[in-house]
Amino acid sequence: MLGALKIIVLRDLMLAMRRKTEVLTTLFFFIIVISLFPLAIGSDKQLLIKIAPGVVWVAALLASMLALERLFAADYDDGTLEQMLLIPQPVFVLVSGKVLAHWLLTGLPLVLVTPLIGLQYQLPDIAVTTMMLSLLLGTPVLSLIGAIGAALTLGVRGGGILLSLLILPLYIPVLVYGSGAVEASMLFGAPVEAYLMLMTAFVIVAIIFAPWATAAALKIAVE
């Protein structure tokens, strides 16, 4: 199963490198949204620090959603997905590989540019570190939950709008605790560990259940 997982991840990464525009769109969208707020509200340090956690997490959430609609659509349109479902490996391995590739292309870059965000919003070092940890824990959850929505709306006309309606309510806990962790890190004595532990729990639950739910939805869509 690990061999099949590796093959699927490498395949999706290679295909993504041939469509670099789609990959870079997510990162550029995130950076542009983050950069617009300081330009719009001015250079008030206290105000920038106050809004930074919410702005960053909303931008990360929206950026993650940009590539979700195409997560399975390309393989579904050319018949590759149907062939993949016939392999002897469990379907959740296929799902896990595609979600991992999606996170490597859309979630991990957001984590890596976080220090630049800290400079823009004049955040203290502890807040930048906490923001990186919260995004590192939260963005995989966004990809895993988004995969369920992408599978449920596969082949549906106007699936992008329906996808947003399905998964946005499920993203709210990650958004709340992710931004809350960053805010808590800027308050002396605040329990940052509690937020991060809750987000770790979200990751574990999503890893256990999301691939199975996505696999079931894919089988329904193909049939």
Domain boundaries, the chain: 2-222
- DSSP labels for 144-169? HHHHHHHHHTTT-TTHHHHHHHHHHH
pLDDT at 66 over 90: no
Say if CB 36 and CB 55 are below 8 A apart: no
pLDDT at 140 over 70: yes
Alpha-carbon distance of 77 to 20, in angstroms, equals 20
89-117: per-residue pLDDT in tens? 788 888 888 899 889 988 899 999 988 88
3-49: per-residue pLDDT in tens? 777 888 888 888 888 777 767 888 888 999 898 888 888 778 888 88
Give the pLDDT score at 95. Answer: 86
Q: Which has more pLDDT, 36 or 82?
A: 36
Radius of gyration of the chain (CA): 18
